[in-house]
Structure 1
């Protein structure tokens, strides 16, 4: 990469490991793409979680009197679609290029935003219409996978952890941003103008799509080796880690969608009160994600994730106590703790992926296999597992909302059955980590910094 070869908007023969070229211009090119990737993913997360705010406005006052179960179903719908789109979005980058796909993935957000703007204040609109619009909003959930895949080709191994962590954290902040927009709309215009929330994002979507078309690049090196995802899908660790990511990211996104509705059902909170608290948890959880990666670097991903699930179990017990005594303050404290811990767990669980596969590569080298091919395969599988775990983990968010729907559908008005189910899952994750990872030999669960090939992964 002695010079910057281009074919139109494509960077060809891009080699970020070339330190001289990286210092001369590679860092600048990668940073420019990272900034726009973060913006696109941030807007994507906001549109994905848009209905977590809009359902708080839905009331007989604006001619939309849906019950609690119907509202939880509505917020679960974009979660499922966003999760299912993560694998094809990840693949699309390898086929169409990071710039091209980012432009498309951003611009298509106009469809659910415009439909929400038009229908959310139309009295008498049936639930199925909102379910379709919510499903279309799921396209915002796919942006995470495509942007992460693109950045792995732009950044050298030694900087990928920082870049991917910043990208993921910036995207996750979109959950808090849409809550803040909702809070502002309620405070300024009142609870009868939910369309204003969707309207805020229309110019932002157009602006980010235009900037991506103007300043981003496609990277020829992002082309995937055929069959990598199939190979990863046959690996048992892919599924173990995906189950753990259901508990961490699934909790983060699921609670992000459901928190306001839970406050309304558990404590009869008004829309203003609900959105006044719902932004804080996602904000802190997003900020905590890099901390999870940092702790995993130093202590090991499996150890940090194990203790993190123990903390999440304690936070869930706090919620059960709060529901029993009817303490709003205790309830807010418990949920905020769960958001922070889920953010930490997101970072530490992702850090387990390269640690596990690099540990295997070391074993293969010890057994006589070529080091270059062994670690190249480990990096290739790590990237595929990141995409698969991200997709499956997001389904945990839908499971949380469905569980809340069932919990509140029996007429008791209590989330206690749902919290007991979550507590059981966190306990299961602790057992899984203890049996599968913490009993392995040290190389397979040691801190990623113990191996140069894994240092930079999130």
Structure 2
């Protein structure tokens, strides 16, 4: 009991020094139980809030396009798919520098900055939507600014990875990511509320709400978060982590999970809107009907992410991931069948096709969330296993190396995974631009990609172990 009190007093003294903790050891059970868990939880809560707002701003153009009738803004369906692909691309690229930012500037400091910088794209979007006469290039540039919201994920995940012990990382990272991901359906729900109450002519209301929320996130981070003195992550660490083959494999698999989640989140509303317009809806009716459904998929995908992390903690990341991709292939098959029937009947079976398409997308969202949690759980497990093979290092140095490598890969995999979202929107754009002007070809591409992911996951993480250059024990790689 005396030790616990001493540990608690030490932690409180460190926290009192301007939100700065010099030596943080999450694996120290005594310190964790004496007050470390409370500190980690407080930082997790505000990390989730800031990341949540970041995701909302990142995906705000998936809502804005529902307020953009072609006859008013002069942008067709293909142009809108490209418009929402731009912030996905920028946000994905920014995840690399955002990964090292928390170690360079401090988790608390960077969270404050990353929340405040969201005010810029939000204000620019508000102004542009009130002035539809601007060129398509102007819309692309402002949409690109929204990409800063995508970078928040990498800095937030890297920061929380440092706060939690190995035994709780699957849960903590899943909750942090899931809470951030849920920013996508929340902004879409807000869009639905605006369209349902005042129509599709007042998009500025959505932007105004997020000007407030960005400010609240920055203030909360300033008051309640901490900087860790022993955080280490730099571009050299990212370069080192890429020497490991498992880093590239995990990044590729994350294209299939997170890339699917964010890509479909940005595109689902547009796919629905196109189908409702084809069914005879007016622009306002199509926007409302699409908004009523579009948020459900991202919501379920966000909720399922921490569940995927918890299942991976218990069953194994590799096992959960491979079965997730099997189910995603089946869901893509539902979309292929629905699209093929719709193309063959020229929309005559539109009601049944729409139902099947919605169910297929909902399945993909739910499963991609599970896969997001399980794939990210594999990252700290892989480097925890590798750290045990390092000679000349004590337990603390091995733990520090593992945290550094895990943090670096979290950022890199997040960046590569986000590019999958760009690919989804570009494939859909090409599919709708083709002669058939439908998404069926895109659905075939998605299904084929998930089959590749199944093969890779099994070959690398589930196949019976054999001598390899990296020699990562299967029990650790799938933990």
Among 410, 424, 433, which residue is 2:448 paired with? 424
For the 8 Å contact 2:107–2:226, the answer to whether it is kept is: yes
Deviation sequence 1:293-340 (CA, Å, 0-9, x none) = 222223322222111111111101101111233311111100000000
Structure 1 counterpart of 2:417: 393
The answer to whether residue 84 in structure 2 is matched with residue 72 in structure 1 is: no
Structure 2 counterpart of 1:232: 241
Deviation sequence 1:205-225 (CA, Å, 0-9, x none) = 112212212222211122337
For the 8 Å contact 1:302–1:445, the answer to whether it is kept is: no
The equivalences for 1:107-186 within 5 A come to 107-186=116-195
For the 8 Å contact 1:354–1:448, the answer to whether it is kept is: no
Among 299, 313, 316, which residue is 1:283 paired with? 299
For the 8 Å contact 2:99–2:233, the answer to whether it is kept is: no
Structure 2 counterpart of 1:455: none
Helix, strand or coil for the counterpart of 1:84?
A: helix
Q: May I ask how many residue pairs the two structures share in their alignment?
A: 446
Among 350, 357, 360, which residue is 2:376 paired with? 350
For the 8 Å contact 2:232–2:404, the answer to whether it is kept is: no
CA shift for structure 1 position 371 = 6.9
CA shift for structure 1 position 277 = 0.5
Deviation sequence 1:107-162 (CA, Å, 0-9, x none) = 01011111111111313221111111111100000111111111222233333332
Deviation sequence 1:386-410 (CA, Å, 0-9, x none) = 2211111011000100111111112
Deviates more, 1:200-209 or 1:338-347: 200-209
The equivalences for 1:240-389 within 5 A come to 240-268=249-277, 270-326=286-342, 327-361=353-387, 364=389, 372=395, 376-389=400-413
CA shift for structure 1 position 413 = 2.2
- In the alignment, the residues of structure 2 paired with residue 13 and residue 402 of structure 1 have an alpha-carbon distance, to the nearest angstrom, of 46
Structure 1 counterpart of 2:67: 57
Deviation sequence 1:224-268 (CA, Å, 0-9, x none) = 377211110222111111111001100000000000111122342
CA shift for structure 1 position 276 = 0.6
For the 8 Å contact 1:179–1:278, the answer to whether it is kept is: yes
Deviation sequence 1:325-372 (CA, Å, 0-9, x none) = 33111111000000001011111111222333344445x37xx77673
Among 19, 22, 33, which residue is 2:32 paired with? 22
TM-score, normalisation: structure 1:
0.92
Deviation sequence 1:49-88 (CA, Å, 0-9, x none) = 0000101111146x21211111001000000000000110
Gaps of 5+ in 1: 451-458
- In the alignment, the residues of structure 2 paired with residue 303 and residue 16 of structure 1 have an alpha-carbon distance, to the nearest angstrom, of 27
For the 8 Å contact 1:49–1:257, the answer to whether it is kept is: yes
Deviation sequence 1:84-111 (CA, Å, 0-9, x none) = 0011011111111111111110001011
- In the alignment, the residues of structure 1 paired with residue 57 and residue 464 of structure 2 have an alpha-carbon distance, to the nearest angstrom, of 41
For the 8 Å contact 2:234–2:408, the answer to whether it is kept is: no
Change beyond 3 A, Cα 1:427–1:114: same
Gaps of 5+ in 2: 1-6, 343-352, 467-471
- In the alignment, the residues of structure 1 paired with residue 51 and residue 431 of structure 2 have an alpha-carbon distance, to the nearest angstrom, of 32
Helix, strand or coil for the counterpart of 1:125?
A: coil
CA shift for structure 1 position 193 = 1.2
Helix, strand or coil for the counterpart of 2:336?
A: helix
Change beyond 3 A, Cα 1:377–1:221: closer
CA shift for structure 1 position 374 = 5.3
